Amino acid sequence: MTEPLTTPAHIAQSIGLTTEEVFVGHHAGAAKAMRLENVTVTFGGRAAVRGVTFDAYQREVTALIGPSGSGKTTLLRALNRMHDTVRSAAVTGTVMLGDTDVYGRSTDPTLLRSRVGMVFQRPNPFPTMSIYENAVAGLRFNGVRKKSLLDEAAESSLVAAALWDSVRDRLKVHASTLSGGEQQRLCIARALAVEPEVLLMDEPTSALDPIATKRIEELIGELKDRVTIIIVTHNMQQAMRVSDRCAFLLMGEDRTGELIEFNSTSKLFSEPDDPRTLDYINGRFG
Amino acid sequence: MSISGSPSPGTARRTWRLAVPDRTYRILLGVAGGIFAALLIAFVVAMATQAVPAFSKLGVSFLWGSNWDPAHNHFGVLPFAVGTIETTVIAVALAVPIGLGTALALAYLAPRRLRAPLSTAVELLAAVPSVVYGLWGLVAVAPLFRTTVEPQLTSVLGWTGLLGGPNQGVGLLLAGVILFIMVLPTMVAISRDVLAAVPHDQVEGAMALGATRWQVLRKVIVPGARVGLLGAFTLATGRALGETVAVALVIGNSAHLAPSLKANAGTIPSLIVSSFGEASGTQLNVLFAAALVLLVVGIGVNALARVFVRSVKRSGAASVTVA
Amino acid sequence: MSSISFDSSLDPILSRRAAIQKIAASSIARRKVYSKVAISVCLLCLVVALIPLVAIITYVAAKGIPAWNADFFTQVTKPEGIPNGGVWNAIVGSLIIDGIAVAASVPFGILGGLFLAESDGPAAAAVRFSADILTGVPSITIGIFGYIVWVKTVGSYSGFAGAFAIAIIMLPVIMRAAETAIRGVPVTLREAGLSLGARRSTVARRVVLPAALPGLLTGVLLAVARGAGETAPLLFTIFGNQFFQANPTKAMEALPQAIYTYSSQPYNDLIQIAWGAALLLMVVILVLNVGSRLMAARLRRERR
């Protein structure tokens, strides 16, 4: 079949589904992309973050904010089961991705990670691969081999990451020739190519210069229709700029992080419910 | 340990007198260091001077002559060059996959607590003296080859035409396998280090995309370490090329161009060590010439390997951009 | 069915998502099995790599221990057919030759290590490079070098020639270990000495070297382990001697060389002696090796 796979009917037909089946998942009342209930992460018995409950809504950007050490990154990494490889780590509570129990017995972590992507603090493109190969790496890992699908996903994700125009003529070039900001956008494209439902971002701009940071913040706004974004940031202004809702975490006296307040961004930064949130906003602690 | 300057004047004076002026000290150190470079040069020069008469008397053709018959003044070393290459190929062909698998296991797959002791165990293989390898190969392994390994291999792979002739135990195949065991620790130790040095954030990046463990190893870690792995491979090859005593004991020592892997053969080092005692005149010069070739190849291979391994350490595996 | 009101520009994305998920879900089982199999193969490689070590140690021990009797350690080698031979001459020879080699290579190795630790220019790079190459060069060529330089010029085989060759093998090992050990001495110690007005050589001798002593010792142990096991260099320099000979200016016998000579003999009692000697040599070298590792490990722990 030489027609491009751009219409739902075509795609549905090529993979043997009906058009209804293709769209059911997107509509089944899932206004909440991810639900967290009483989530606790412990390392060797000691809790790093405890009792977190909030929801991340579809087509929104949810930010995890708070001073360093409050467990934001630990919590984020629990959402795509990155702690599975750490022997001493244990995650309790409930994490739901749509209808799927993320930590359920029948849920495969490897398969889960194709639905929940992650972008890291320091850009980590694969240095031995070209730009194109980086972009399609996730697809290849998940067993996709059809060239037309790979090409299409690569172009779509590179366009979405605002990288297509500058790299379209040098797709075979090694990824390490890109600048820091471009590399991070390549990592975003790489994560997007797999078409995850949720994209986790762990302080994605903290290693970049202000201009690159601004570009990525603009990108986040453009992307949220396509993927639900949960972003960890220690930069309050960034949270204000990009997020729709914020979850404020703080480390208690027992050195365990707790969710202090979860609210829409505008409310949290103007009239927070909790006095500790107010203190944080006013810069009383870093 | 006392730092001069603090004790009583009497002791201080004694210490000063034993002290050497700084300039002399630096010169002394420089000489000591220079000895190494000088040694290497003297090495090549000495070998070359002894080898030159061979070239002047026989030209260069003896290097690929296939007839080694000193009694009749035939000094073709080709059979031994071929034997060297064949044993090295067998050794490296076995050492690369098994060494890589072992290195991956030690770097990422084995239970964490066992990694260090098991790594040490593999490295201890390198501590066994080569003469012990030779003796063990000759007495313990050769009969096994003769009765079991060679017949089995011949029945499975005989169609390749490489396994003709009787099953003797000793020969090229055994030498290749013993060499494999001897170069394995080198291959494993270096490979393990470069594989473990691949930055962890690349591993996490692959995991976060939904890669299985093996996919991470194969598509991210091994490619990320490939320059260092090349260095390990080169070093292992160098070691296999130059190994003398173990090979001499198990290869059967024949001067004929071996028609099969099961045949007796010789390598350049085994030739030198077995005929040096009785050699004189031109034959001796030829042996020196062979040793010179061995030296030059050894230096070249080693230098190449160090370049590979050094470049990994210098640039850090993260920014390797070798196309 | 399209009564749904959503952004239709998402259509391709949603359908691509469904397509990808379908492929991922249907292939996950196969991918996981493949991963498990491949990982098992790697672990199998590890087992294969360990088998020779166990095999060789047990075999040599089984064959060698019966050879260890009083005669073995006290008698010199007797010609074939005469019983009660031993390797006393080889043991003494090895001790003397390796002893001389160590005595010759340690001072140069330490000085070289000081040089490398204290300078950084192209000269140092060239020296380091030469030392690295020297460690990798086939030991047979070192033996031949020893032959050319010592045996040919002096006119006869001798223990000194063998010690010369073994020293060349030990030198780079000691030097690199010395460099590492000396670099490990805190810079503050050296600066303290210099600031008190001491000459650099004094600081080196009384501050740096004593502090680096454990590391230096480890390096020497490692070098001895390497040098004592080498056979090829000896074959061209000491010639071997079935009689007792402690004079290093004469041809001598050494353990590795004795093993090699008697391995190729068709007489049972000589082969028996070869096994005994092989076990002895292997045990000594393994002990030296393990010892130097333990020392290095303890050093690293103390440093923390």
pLDDT, one tens digit per residue, over B238-258 is 999 999 999 999 998 888 887
Cross-strand partners of A228: A198
When pLDDT is averaged across residues C196-203 and rounded to a whole number, the result is 76
Answer whether residue B17 shows pLDDT above 80: no
Q: Is residue C10 part of a domain?
A: no
When pLDDT is averaged across residues C246-259 and rounded to a whole number, the result is 87
* C193–B3 C-beta distance less than 8 A: yes
Q: Which of C4, C16, C32, C34 to mutate to test the interface with A (most CBs of A within 10 A)?
A: C16
Does A207 lie at the interface with C, CB-CB under 8 angstroms?
no
Answer whether residue A249 shows pLDDT above 80: yes
Q: Which residues 6+ apart lie within 8 Å of B10 measured at CB?
A: none
Q: Is residue C5 part of a domain?
A: no
Domain range for A61: 31-109+197-205+229-286
Residue A139 region, left (φ>0) first, then alpha (ψ -120 to 50), else beta?
Answer: alpha
Q: Is residue C113 part of a domain?
A: yes
When pLDDT is averaged across residues C192-208 and rounded to a whole number, the result is 78
Residue A48: closest CA among A217, A269, A251, A273: A251
In chain A, residues with a C-beta closer than 8 Å to the C-beta of B202 are: 124, 126-127
Greater model confidence, C27 or C156: C27
Positive or negative: CA dihedral A19, A20, A21, A22:
positive
pTM score over 0.90: no
* B124–C126 C-beta distance less than 8 A: no
Is residue C261 within 8 A of residue B159, CB to CB? The reply is: no
| Whether residue A93 sits in one domain with residue A201 | yes
The Cα B299–Cα B293 span in angstroms is 10
Domain range for C133: 67-303
Answer whether residue A142 shows pLDDT above 90: yes
Compute the nearest-CA separation of A275 from chain C (Å).
40
Positive or negative: CA dihedral A246, A190, B207, A198:
positive
* B39–C148 C-beta distance less than 8 A: no
Q: Is residue C74 part of a domain?
A: yes
In chain C, residues with a C-beta closer than 8 Å to the C-beta of A111 are: 24-25, 28
Q: Is residue A96 part of a domain?
A: yes
Does A20 lie at the interface with C, CB-CB under 8 angstroms?
yes
pLDDT band (50, 70, 90) for residue C265: confident
How big, in percent rounded to 5, are the helix, strand and coil portions of chain B?
A: 75, 0, 20
Print burial letters for B129-154: b (CB count within 10 Å at least 16), e (below 16): bbbbbbbbbbbbbbeebbeebbeebb
pLDDT band (50, 70, 90) for residue B22: confident
| Whether residue A125 sits in one domain with residue A71 | no
Domains: count for chain C: 1
The Cα C112–Cα C118 span in angstroms is 10
Domain B61-319 falls under CATH 3.30.830.10 = no
pLDDT at B119 (0 to 100): 93
Question: Which tokens go with A58?
Answer: 């579809």
Sheet holding A89-97, edge to edge: A100-101, A89-97, A32-43, A46-57, A257-264, A245-251, A61-65, A228-232, A198-202, A116-119
pLDDT at C266 (0 to 100): 78
When pLDDT is averaged across residues C213-227 and rounded to a whole number, the result is 90
Weakest mean pLDDT among B206-215, B311-320, C240-249, C291-300: B311-320
| Whether residue A76 sits in one domain with residue A105 | yes
Question: Which tokens go with A214?
Answer: 């601004």
pLDDT, tens digit, 9 for 90 and up, residues B101-150: 999 999 999 999 999 999 999 989 999 999 999 999 999 999 999 998 88
Place of tokens 């060494």: B99
For C212, the closest chain B residue by CA position comes to B1
Positive or negative: CA dihedral B202, B204, B210, B211:
positive
Is residue B179 within 8 A of residue B248, CB to CB? The reply is: no
When pLDDT is averaged across residues B77-82 and rounded to a whole number, the result is 88
The Cα B45–Cα C148 span in angstroms is 11
pLDDT at C245 (0 to 100): 80
pLDDT at B136 (0 to 100): 94
Does C286 lie at the interface with B, CB-CB under 8 angstroms?
yes
Compute the nearest-CA separation of A173 from chain B (Å).
10
Q: Which of B209, B217, B220, B229 to mutate to test the interface with A (most CBs of A within 10 A)?
A: B209
In chain A, residues with a C-beta closer than 8 Å to the C-beta of C6 are: 26-27
| Whether residue A240 sits in one domain with residue A188 | no
When pLDDT is averaged across residues A15-40 and rounded to a whole number, the result is 67
Place of tokens 């589904």: A17
| Whether residue A53 sits in one domain with residue A130 | no
Is residue C263 within 8 A of residue C63, CB to CB? The reply is: no
For A143, the closest chain B residue by CA position comes to B211
Q: Which residues 6+ apart lie within 8 Å of C16 measured at CB?
A: A5, A11, A149, A152, A153, A156, A195
Nearest CB among C31, C114, C286 relative to B29 is that of C114
In chain C, residues with a C-beta closer than 8 Å to the C-beta of B213 are: 35, 39
In chain B, residues with a C-beta closer than 8 Å to the C-beta of C26 are: none
Does B211 lie at the interface with A, CB-CB under 8 angstroms?
yes
The Cα C131–Cα C117 span in angstroms is 14
When pLDDT is averaged across residues A22-39 and rounded to a whole number, the result is 68
| Whether residue A105 sits in one domain with residue A43 | yes
Compute the nearest-CA separation of A72 from chain C (Å).
28
When pLDDT is averaged across residues B169-182 and rounded to a whole number, the result is 93
Q: What angle do CA A227, A228, A229 make, to 5 degrees?
A: 105
Nearest CB among C1, C19, C21 relative to A20 is that of C1
| Whether residue A201 sits in one domain with residue A97 | yes
For A191, the closest chain B residue by CA position comes to B209
Q: Is residue C43 part of a domain?
A: no
When pLDDT is averaged across residues B197-220 and rounded to a whole number, the result is 95
Q: Which of C9, C15, C30 to mutate to test the interface with A (most CBs of A within 10 A)?
A: C15
Answer whether residue A201 shows pLDDT above 90: yes
Question: Which tokens go with C220?
Answer: 């020497």
Nearest CB among A21, A195, A225 relative to C20 is that of A195
pLDDT at C85 (0 to 100): 77
Answer whether residue B170 shows pLDDT above 80: yes
Question: Which tokens go with A259?
Answer: 């969710």
For A194, the closest chain B residue by CA position comes to B209
* B120–C198 C-beta distance less than 8 A: no
Percent over 90 (pLDDT), chain B: 44
Greater model confidence, A184 or C193: A184
Chains with ≥3 CB–CB distances under 8 Å to A = B, C
Positive or negative: CA dihedral C282, C284, C285, C286:
positive
pLDDT at A13 (0 to 100): 66
CA distances in angstroms from C235 to A1, B279, C267, listed in the order given: 74, 14, 21
Nearest CB among A15, A20, A26 relative to C22 is that of A15
Weakest mean pLDDT among A82-86, A268-272, B306-310, C197-201: C197-201
CA distances in angstroms from A266 to A31, A183, A270, listed in the order given: 20, 32, 6
CA distances in angstroms from C164 to B45, B46, C150, C195, listed in the order given: 17, 15, 8, 40
Greater model confidence, C21 or C155: C21
pLDDT at C114 (0 to 100): 85
pLDDT at B12 (0 to 100): 45
Give the Cβ contact number of residue C235 at 10 Å.
31
3-state secondary structure (DSSP) of residue A272: coil
| Whether residue A145 sits in one domain with residue A78 | no
pLDDT band (50, 70, 90) for residue A22: low
pLDDT band (50, 70, 90) for residue C215: confident
pLDDT band (50, 70, 90) for residue A24: very low
The Cα B208–Cα A109 span in angstroms is 10
Q: Is residue A278 part of a domain?
A: yes
Does A137 lie at the interface with C, CB-CB under 8 angstroms?
no
Is residue B165 within 8 A of residue B263, CB to CB? The reply is: yes
Answer whether residue A185 shows pLDDT above 80: yes
Which stretches of B150-262 are DSSP H helices? 150-157, 172-196, 200-208, 213-216, 222-224, 226-242, 245-250
Answer whether residue C110 shows pLDDT above 60: yes
What number of C-beta contacts closer than 8 Å exist between A and C?
Answer: 89
Q: Is residue A250 part of a domain?
A: yes
Q: Is residue C2 part of a domain?
A: no
Give contacts of C 8-27 with B, CB under 8 A.
24
Percent over 70 (pLDDT), chain C: 95
What number of C-beta contacts closer than 8 Å exist between A and B?
Answer: 77
| Whether residue A101 sits in one domain with residue A37 | yes
Answer whether residue B9 shows pLDDT above 60: no
What number of C-beta contacts closer than 8 Å exist between B and C?
Answer: 279
